[in-house]
């Protein structure tokens, strides 16, 4: 019996797990994928939004601004790469400049600090590579960029170190409400060779006094199992292009286009790792797992991005990817809790707001649903909000020995030459380079494998260390990384996967047949 079972180990589920680990109770996180940060949390814009876009008096607006304000301290405590590079929303001469004034009013109502309008020489000085058609921009200096992988893993690892149990490769198939809480019927999913051969995994049950539904695009499924106050999620696909680090200095700020009905338009932004990111598209999809990219989508990105930023070196694209946003298409009126009744908030804006809190008719069932943009930014504030509600409901006391700090993977390239040489003398693995594009050493990969919730697949290593994220996209380093995983974990080479499930690389021995 757990006090809390969290469904989903994305950034929101992991942040909630960390906040709940401050209290004296048993908490588990159930995730169907082989690692944390495998859904929407790994495929997004990696932006810490300032908070000027969401409709005032919505949960999105409130939690965005709160989450943004928490980031500096969180980055220090959890060793998360984070930069406040500032955001620009640009307006071209063909667009309505009064829309920027509307953003200013929204920002003021939402409590976003230090925003202003810029134009002329000041705008050109801020961003020399803006298109000539850009005449004015809204500037929010508190906007930032982050690594979503490291942010999610930092929450999860710190929660694990504070006693939270994680069940990965475990799918919740059914949820029932009982007299003493909830029964979750789960299946431990096979991975590697067994999955490739069609094994179904092992079924078992988990019981919990309360449940947190942080299941992303599947959150409606679990809510509708236990509550008559239903909602439905329409997955909204966003496609992206990532450019090589040679293009990373093309911009210094995150450049947005004027927001539209489907979102904030196509942005162009530097990343905390020195790349340039372009995206996303916004297309509603029926297939919740349909994260394929399309020629049409990528062509749209390149054409649309050039309306705001000139001379983008698209020849430097090293990969493209897509993610699904959990857009709530319809929901029961009673699930609009937390949303104000201001006439300035339209029906469409209220319907699209986050669904956060205890269900009106399923006691002990807490939703963290519909977490689309600005979900990454809002995650820390969502976690605090829900943890306080659950702690109050269960009458919990805080731990006296909660460990709030977590150290990330050591990066030798952040050390001086003397410090790096001393490190290699102590631990020679840091002198063996495995990934040449990103200059990732064997020592960093060993750290990724042996740290809390350690990596067991190539993508898990990649998210933790960036081995395989460079120009060749793991073409050189993957065999060596697989050898290290096999040696360190005792896992058979035929069970090592790209990202869990059936994504095996090795299917047999040479000349076996």
Tokens 């979750």 -> residue:
184
Residue 508 in any domain: the answer is: no
Residue 174 in any domain: the answer is: no
Q: Are 33 and 166 spatial neighbours (Cβ–Cβ below 8 Å)?
A: no
Q: Give residue 335's pLDDT.
A: 62
Structural domain that includes position 424: 412-495
Q: Are 190 and 494 spatial neighbours (Cβ–Cβ below 8 Å)?
A: no
Split into its structural domains, the chain has a count of 2
The bridge status of strand 47-48 relative to strand 365-369 is unpaired
3-state SS, residue 130: strand
Q: Among residues 49, 229, 253, 327, which one is catalytic?
A: 49
Q: Give residue 103's pLDDT.
A: 95
Q: What angle do CA 298, 300, 304 make, to 5 degrees?
A: 125
Are 352 and 425 in the same domain?
A: no
- Considering only CA atoms, give the Rg of the chain: 23
Beta strands in 406-463 (DSSP E): 433-435, 440-441
Asked about 49 being catalytic, the answer comes back as: yes
Are 384 and 478 in the same domain?
A: no
Q: Give residue 179's pLDDT.
A: 87
Q: How far apart are CA 263 and CA 375, in angstroms?
A: 13
Q: Give residue 450's pLDDT.
A: 98
Are 447 and 339 in the same domain?
A: no
Are 362 and 471 in the same domain?
A: no
Q: Give residue 336's pLDDT.
A: 53
Residue 440 in any domain: the answer is: yes
CATH number of the CATH domain containing 57? 3.30.9.10
Q: Give residue 334's pLDDT.
A: 61
CA dihedral angle for residue 305, residue 307, residue 308, residue 313, rounded to 10 degrees: 50
Structure-token pair, residue 206? 């988990």
Residue 401 in any domain: the answer is: no
Residue 180 in any domain: the answer is: no
Are 441 and 475 in the same domain?
A: yes
Q: Give residue 433's pLDDT.
A: 97
Q: Are 416 and 171 spatial neighbours (Cβ–Cβ below 8 Å)?
A: no
Cis peptide before 374 (omega within 30 of 0): yes
Are 85 and 9 in the same domain?
A: yes
The bridge status of strand 170-178 relative to strand 165-167 is unpaired
Q: What angle do CA 115, 118, 124 make, to 5 degrees?
A: 130
Structure-token pair, residue 388? 């306080």
Q: Which of 304, 248, 306, 253 is nearest to 123 (CA)?
A: 253
The bridge status of strand 2-7 relative to strand 202-213 is parallel
Tokens 């601004």 -> residue:
65
Q: How far apart are CA 303 and CA 288, in angstroms?
A: 27
Are 89 and 141 in the same domain?
A: yes
DSSP symbol at 55? P
Residue 225 in any domain: the answer is: no
Are 370 and 416 in the same domain?
A: no
CATH number of the CATH domain containing 455? 1.10.10
Are 306 and 277 in the same domain?
A: yes
Q: Which of 352, 238, 237 is nearest to 288 (CA)?
A: 237
Question: Count H helices, E strands: the chain?
Answer: 14, 22
Residue 258 in any domain: the answer is: yes
Structure-token pair, residue 16? 């909630």
- Mean pLDDT, 10 residues at a time, over the chain (513 residues)? 97 98 98 96 97 95 98 98 98 92 96 97 97 96 98 98 98 94 96 90 96 97 96 95 97 91 80 97 92 96 96 97 93 57 47 90 97 97 98 97 97 95 97 97 98 97 97 95 97 94 90 71
Are 383 and 486 in the same domain?
A: no
- Residue 177 contacts by C-beta under 8 Å, 6 or more apart in sequence? 226, 362, 364, 365
State phi, psi for 99 to the nearest 5 degrees: -65, -30
Which of 141-155 are b and which e, b meaning 16 or more Cβ less than 10 Å from the residue's Cβ? Answer: bbbbbbbbbbbbbbb
Beta strands in 99-216 (DSSP E): 116-119, 134-140, 144-146, 165-167, 170-178, 181-188, 202-213
Are 384 and 307 in the same domain?
A: yes
Are 58 and 110 in the same domain?
A: yes
Q: Give residue 415's pLDDT.
A: 95
Residue 215 in any domain: the answer is: no
């Amino acid at each position: 019996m757990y006090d809390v079972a969290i469904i989903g180990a994305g950034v929101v589920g992991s942040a909630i797990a960390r906040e709940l680990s401050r209290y004296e109770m048993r908490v588990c996180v159930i995730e169907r994928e082989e690692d944390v940060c495998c859904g929407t949390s790994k495929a997004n814009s990696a932006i810490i939004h300032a908070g000027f876009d969401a409709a005032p008096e919505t949960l999105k607006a409130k939690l965005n601004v709160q989450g943004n304000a928490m980031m500096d301290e969180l980055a220090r405590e959890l060793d998360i790469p984070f930069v406040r590079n500032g955001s620009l929303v640009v307006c071209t001469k063909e667009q309505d400049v009064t829309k920027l004034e509307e953003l200013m009013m929204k920002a003021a109502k939402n409590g976003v600090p230090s925003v202003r309008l810029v134009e002329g020489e000041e705008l050109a000085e801020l961003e020399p590579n803006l298109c000539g058609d850009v005449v004015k921009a809204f500037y929010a200096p508190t906007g930032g960029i982050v690594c979503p992988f490291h942010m999610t893993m930092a929450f999860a690892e710190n929660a694990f170190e504070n006693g939270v149990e994680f069940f990965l490769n475990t799918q919740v198939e059914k949820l029932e409400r009982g007299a003493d809480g909830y029964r979750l019927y789960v299946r431990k999913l096979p991975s590697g060779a067994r999955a490739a051969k069609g094994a179904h995994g092992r079924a078992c049950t988990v019981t919990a006094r309360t449940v947190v539904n942080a299941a992303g695009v599947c959150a409606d499924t679990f809510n509708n199992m236990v509550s008559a106050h239903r909602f439905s999620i329409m997955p909204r696909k966003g496609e992206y292009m990532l450019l090589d680090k040679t293009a990373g200095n093309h911009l210094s700020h995150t450049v947005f286009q004027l927001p539209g009905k489907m979102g904030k338009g196509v942005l162009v932004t530097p990343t905390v790792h020195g790349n340039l990111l372009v995206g996303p598209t916004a297309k509603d999809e029926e297939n919740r797992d349909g994260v394929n990219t399309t020629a049409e989508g990528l062509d749209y990105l390149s054409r649309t991005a050039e309306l705001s930023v000139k001379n983008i070196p698209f020849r430097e694209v090293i990969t493209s990817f897509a993610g699904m946003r959990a857009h709530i298409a319809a929901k029961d009126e009673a699930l609009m809790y937390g949303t104000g009744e201001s006439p300035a908030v339209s029906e469409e804006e209220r319907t699209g707001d986050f669904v956060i809190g205890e269900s009106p008719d399923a006691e002990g069932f807490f939703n963290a649903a519909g977490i689309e943009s600005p979900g990454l930014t809002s995650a820390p504030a969502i976690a605090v909000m829900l943890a306080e509600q659950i702690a109050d409901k269960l009458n919990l006391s805080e731990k006296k020995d909660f460990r709030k700090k977590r150290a990330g993977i050591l990066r030798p390239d952040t050390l001086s030459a003397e410090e790096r040489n001393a490190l290699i003398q102590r631990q020679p693995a840091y002198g063996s380079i495995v990934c040449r594009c990103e200059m990732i050493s064997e020592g960093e990969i060993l750290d990724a494998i042996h740290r809390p919730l350690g990596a067991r697949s190539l993508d898990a290593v990649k998210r933790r260390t960036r081995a395989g994220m460079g120009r060749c996209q793991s073409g050189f380093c993957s065999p060596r990384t697989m050898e290290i995983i096999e040696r360190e974990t005792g896992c058979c080479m035929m069970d090592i996967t790209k990202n869990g499930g059936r994504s095996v690389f090795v299917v047999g021995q040479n000349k076996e047949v």
